[in-house]
Amino acid sequence: MTMLELKDIHTYYGNIHALKGISLRVEPGEVVTLLGSNGAGKTTILRSIQGLLRPRQGTIRFENKALEILPAQAIVRLGISQSPEGRLIFPRMTVKENLEMGAFSRRDTLGIKTDTERALTLFPRLRERINQKGGTLSGGEQQMLAIARALMARPRLLLLDEPSMGLAPMLVTQIFSIIQDINNQGTTILLVEQNARMALTVAHRGYVLQTGQIVLTGTAKDLQSNEIVRKAYLGET
Amino acid sequence: MAQAIKSRNILGAIAALTVLLFGGWSGAVIGWLLGTGAAFIACQGKKITSAKTGIRLGVNAGLGLGIWILIASLVQGFLLLPTTGQSALGIIQVLTLGGAGLVVATLSGWLMGAAQGLGPRRQRITVAFLAVILITFPLIDQLADTNWTATVIQILIFALLALGLNIVVGYAGLLDLGYAAFFAIGAYTTGFLSSPQINLEWNFWLVIWIAAAVAAVAGVILGAPTLRLRGDYLAIVTLGFGEIVPVVFRNLTQIQIYEPISKIFASLLGQPKLAICLVGCDRPFNLTGGEAGINPIGRPALPLIGTFQSGKYLPWYYLVLLLVVLSVLMISRLRGSRLGRAWAAIREDELAASAMGINLVQTKLMAFAMGAFFAGFAGAFYGAYISAIFPSVFDFSVSVIVLCMVILGGLGNITGVLLGCVIIMAADRLYLPQLAQVLKSMLNTSVLPNVANPALRDFLATSVDPLQMRLFLFGLTLVVMMIVRPEGLVPNAERQAELQSPDEESLAEVRSL
Ligand SMILES: Nc1ncnc2c1ncn2[C@@H]1O[C@H](COP(=O)(O)OP(=O)(O)OP(=O)(O)O)[C@@H](O)[C@H]1O
Ligand SMILES: [Mg+2]
């Protein structure tokens, strides 16, 4: 059964037609990546899935439930969480409190505890800084916190918006290997990335987006060898 | 250390000012209150291993304060009184009053210091001290003949308002400039339900809960249209509501309601008599009494005490004290609750909060409702206490003053907010009027007779009046405060961290753009 399926989604910001008929799907267990240049509409897709924006047209189904009519808080409870673009951690809360906020939609105290432990094992740096204010973490640590916080909702589908943005190459490699780990532990991932090279190494499939439309799709291998992708996103000539 | 000395001098100056303005036994009363406070502050942040160290610190603080009081008593008794047209006191009398202040301040410091030395139970004992002070205050006040209880009741009414507004502004981060509207709604609900105005005389103990509930519902209704607004825009809309509500109450004096369908037919047929009248048929119905307000309003009654009387402050004092304590308990539980965490999250970042699965609409509406609930409490008590309400009581300045209390004390911190309330209200309702009075009599007896120029004399007589400078002093305090200590008197830890690292905050701002 397909996990997530978008059909002909149109999303607007006022008069700006940001998504012009997006259709895509994500199968259980996959890592699917969305590639595209700035302003192509990648963030808009994630926000539409999570109910933070309402598409004007089209349907979104998650495990056969219609998402486009549900409020954001119900969608989180269904098992979709997001590490948003720009991280958006709570700067005046500690690392611990940020993680607790990530589990806001849950009430199983015991499960929250094991998931906190799991998140801190994935990101040992956060364990060292458990009582530090989120706003005083370094950029990379904030990115880790944003991903860990998203995991605290125990999602079945994890949405990651540019997790490598602004990180040093070392850290980028590390973050992608953690993403791989999260996927290996059974979480399906929809990954938005500027760093196409890295994204295509962890992803199974990918979609290429241009000004609100999908122009190319295929397995990661196909995309890696595709002429357009090589030129536009992998920086080859 | 420098901090301790600074706060000690400030407390000393306040005590001295009190003695200078009020005279009499006020030195002993203020010595009791501030001596306890000074000892508490002196022991803050120190490692106190035994009662002995605590006592040393406490007595030190109390004695320092007592010396201020003694000196002020001497100045007041010998120098100040004659210049205001009263006769100077005898040496024995002055020494008794000043000495009492000194002794009481030192003893209070001793007690508080000893209590602080008790180690792990420190916090509970501090609360117990506060409780004893609050419970015995009106009795001591009567004994010392200082007559402060009436003002303290007003302070406590505003404490309810400040606590409620702190939920909206401090916890949820929604700037509300029209908070007085809910105070008005609570008071008018009480007015409607327990006065001859519409012939309902319900029991106060029931009405106060209804008033709070009605205010909470009003909070939801007024909050709903503002949900999509942030920051400045929200402030302007709430400001508008704050203005509209008293105007509505002022004008609901000529009510006539017709059954709508018959009214339409009647006007179509040109036969006004056909309209079926429902309310106010013989004579338009006066709901709110307009500018004159609603008067009288029923008072609470208790088995042993009987109906509360207007001049007898004791029952009123204990009632409003009870309300404040109840509110503090409820609000401090709220903060740590699920709802409290949701408020903190939307205050920091709405988009992220929403991505965490927080229901923005519900969370914001709950903030407005809970905030308004406590204003409803305050309004109900106020209406019964004054036994009358007028629309002019609930104007914009009330909203502003309450907001100032919250900001001055420290957004989001209950202790800070209460402290801010006490400082602003005491300055505004106690010290300033007394200062005006003392200055006036000083002017009349010692200055004016010696001024030859009649123009200058008139100018002095009319312009030296601190009450006229009330708003100026108010603004000045805020400006100074924002420069010296922008995080408030007792900041909450989060806000302090944020203000101390300004680049962090601007970064966060850039990110959210
Ligand atoms: N809040 C907004 N109001 C108006 N237009 C917006 C808003 N947010 C995004 N847009 C527009 O919608 C389009 C898609 O934006 P989106 O943020 O989805 O791009 P993106 O693919 O995530 O780009 P990037 O890689 O730079 O993050 C852009 O043209 C952008 O200008
Ligand atoms: Mg984006």
Atom of ligand 1 minimally distant from the CA of A40: 21
- Residue B465 belongs to a domain: no
Categorize the per-residue pLDDT at B308 as very low, low, confident or very high, splitting at 50, 70 and 90. Answer: confident
Which residues in A lie closer than 8 A to residue B505 (C-beta atoms)? Answer: 91, 135
Q: Which two three-digit tokens encode residue A96?
A: 């611990």
Question: Taking residues B482-499, what's their average pLDDT?
Answer: 66
* Chain B touched by A187 (CB under 8 Å): no
Are B192 and B51 part of one and the same domain?
no
Ligand nearest to the CA of A44: 1
B133 three-class SS: helix
Specify whether the backbone of A142 is left (phi greater than 0), alpha (psi in -120 to 50) or beta. alpha
Q: So what's the pLDDT on residue A229?
A: 83
| Ligand 1 lined by A38 (C-beta under 6 Å) | yes
Across B90-118, average pLDDT: 88
Residue B49 sits at φ, ψ, to 5 deg, of -90, -35
B124 and B236 belong to one structural domain? no
Q: Say what the pLDDT of residue A237 is.
A: 60
What is the predicted pLDDT for the residue at B344?
94
Domain boundary among B146, B172, B195: B146
Residue B506: band (very low, low, confident or very high) from pLDDT cuts 50, 70, 90: very low
Question: B385: which residues sit within 8 A by CB, 6+ positions away?
Answer: B153, B157, B316, B320
| B208-220 tens-digit pLDDT | 999 999 999 999 9
Cα gap A98→A110, rounded to integer Å: 18
CB–CB contact A135 B498 (8 Å): yes
Q: Which of A153, A190, A187 is nearest to A74 (CA)?
A: A153
Give the model's pLDDT for residue B510. Answer: 42
Chain A partners of B495 at a C-beta cutoff of 8 Å? 92
Residue B2: predicted pLDDT: 61
| Tens digit of each residue's pLDDT (9 = 90 or more) over B161-174 | 999 999 999 999 99
**Stretch B145-162: mean pLDDT:** 94
Asked if residue B339 has pLDDT above 70, the reply is yes
pLDDT digit string, tens, across residues B267-289: 888 877 777 777 777 777 778 88
Percent of chain B past pLDDT 90, that is, above it, reads 40
pLDDT value of position B512? 41
Q: Can you read off the two tokens belonging to residue A121?
A: 């094992």
CB B387 within 8 A of CB B297: yes
pLDDT band of B376, cuts 50, 70, 90: very high
User: In terms of domains, do B279 and B305 share one?
Assistant: no
A43 in ligand 1 pocket by Cβ < 6 Å? Answer: yes
DSSP for A125-157 reads: HHHHTTTSBGGGS-HHHHHHHHHHHHHTT--SE
Place of tokens 């609750």: B337
Phi and psi of B69, rounded to 5°? -65, -45
CB of B507 less than 8 A from some CB of A: yes
Q: Are B149 and B356 in contact (CB under 8 A)?
A: no
Report pLDDT for B319: 94
The SS3 call for residue B408 is helix
Judged by CB atoms closer than 8 Å, whether chains meet at B356 and A101 is answered as yes
Q: Does A94 touch chain B (CB under 8 A)?
A: no
Contact residues, A window 119-158, toward B, CB-based 8 Å cutoff = 133, 135-136, 149, 153
Pairing mode of beta strands A31-36, A188-192: parallel
Query: Is B499 a domain residue?
Result: no
CB–CB contact A72 B354 (8 Å): yes
A205-214, B288-297, B417-426, B483-492 — which is least confidently predicted?
Answer: B483-492
Indicate whether B496 pLDDT > 60: no
Specify the pLDDT at position B505: 41
Which of residues B286, B306, B339 is at a domain's end? B286
Assigned domain for B114 exists: yes
CA of A154 to the centre of ligand 2 (A): 24
- The answer to the question of residue B508 being in a domain is no
A39 C-beta closer than 6 A to ligand 1: yes
Which residue owns the Cα nearest ligand 1 atom 1? A13
| Residues B164 and B125 both lie in one domain | no
Show the low-confidence residues of chain A (pLDDT under 70). 236-237
pLDDT, mean over chain B: 86
Residue B509 has pLDDT above 60, yes or no: no
The pLDDT assigned to B412 comes to 85
Tell me which chain A residues have a C-beta less than 8 angstroms from the C-beta of B512: 86, 88
Residue of B nearest to A74 (CA): B357
Same domain, B77 and B88: yes
Tracing tokens 């009430």 back to the chain, one arrives at A107
Separation of CA B340 and ligand 2 centre (Å): 31
Single-letter code of the amino acid located at B340: G
Q: How confident is the model at residue B511 (pLDDT cuts 50, 70, 90)?
A: very low
pLDDT for the residue A183 = 95
Same domain, B233 and B262: no
Identify the burial level of B481 via C-beta atoms within 10 angstroms of its C-beta, where 0-12 means exposed, 13-18 middle and 19 or more buried: middle
B63: exposed, middle or buried (Cβ count in 10 Å: 0-12, 13-18, 19+): middle
If one counts the domains in chain B, the total is: 3
Task: Show residues of chain B in contact with A90, CB under 8 Å.
Answer: 344-345, 348-349, 352
State mean pLDDT over B5-22. Answer: 86
Query: Is the CB–ligand 1 distance for residue A15 below 6 Å?
Result: no
Please give the average per-residue pLDDT across B238-259, as a whole number: 87
Q: Which residues contact B458 (CB under 8 A, 6 or more apart)?
A: none
Query: Is the same domain home to B178 and B327?
Result: yes
Predicted pLDDT at A176: 94
The answer to whether residue B352 neighbours chain A at the CB level (below 8 Å) is: yes
Tell me the pTM.
0.87
Residues B166 and B191 grouped into a single domain = yes
Is-contact A13 A41, C-beta < 8 A? Answer: no
The partner residue sitting opposite A84, judged by closest CB among B348, B351, B507, is B351
Which distant-in-sequence residues (6+ apart) come within 8 Å of B350 by Cβ?
Answer: B230, B360
B344 touches A: beta carbon within 8 Å? yes
Contact A52 B505 (CB under 8 A): no
- What is the predicted ipTM? 0.89
The percentage of chain A sitting over the pLDDT mark of 90, rounded to a whole number, equals: 81
Asked if residue B96 and residue B2 are part of one domain, the reply reads yes
Cβ distance A72 to B495 less than 8 Å, yes or no, reads no
**B30 confidence band (pLDDT: 50, 70, 90):** very high
CA-CA distances (angstroms) from residue B153 to B106, B130, B321, B373, B510?
Answer: 28, 16, 8, 19, 46
How far is the alpha carbon of B226 from chain A, nearest alpha carbon, in Å? 19
- Look at residue B508 in the predicted model and tell me its pLDDT: 42
Residue B105 sits in the same domain as residue B246: no
Residues on chain B touching A87 (C-beta within 8 angstroms): 511
Q: Would you state the pLDDT for residue A226? A: 87
Q: Which residue has the tokens 């001049």?
A: B311
Return d(Cα B11, Cα B42) in angstroms, integer: 12
Which one of A13, A165, A192, A208 would you pick to mutate in the ligand 1 pocket, going by the greatest count of ligand atoms within 8 A of its CB? A13
Structure tokens at A193: 């990335």
User: Is residue B190 assigned to a domain?
Assistant: yes
Domain region containing B106:
1-146
pLDDT tens digits for range A32-56: 999 998 999 999 999 999 999 999 9
Q: Is the pLDDT of residue B507 over 60?
A: no
For chain A, how many helices (H) and strands (E)?
A: 10, 10
Mean pLDDT value of segment B47-58: 83
Contact A93 B494 (CB under 8 A): yes
Structural domain ending residue among the three candidates B362, B377, B408:
B408
Indicate whether B299 belongs to any domain.
yes
Instruction: Report yes or no on B18 lying in a domain.
Output: yes
B218 and B242 together in one domain: yes
Helix (H, G, I), strand (E, B) or coil at B85: coil
Please indicate, yes or no, whether residues B328 and B347 belong to a single structural domain of this protein.
yes
Q: Would you say residue B84 lies in a domain?
A: yes
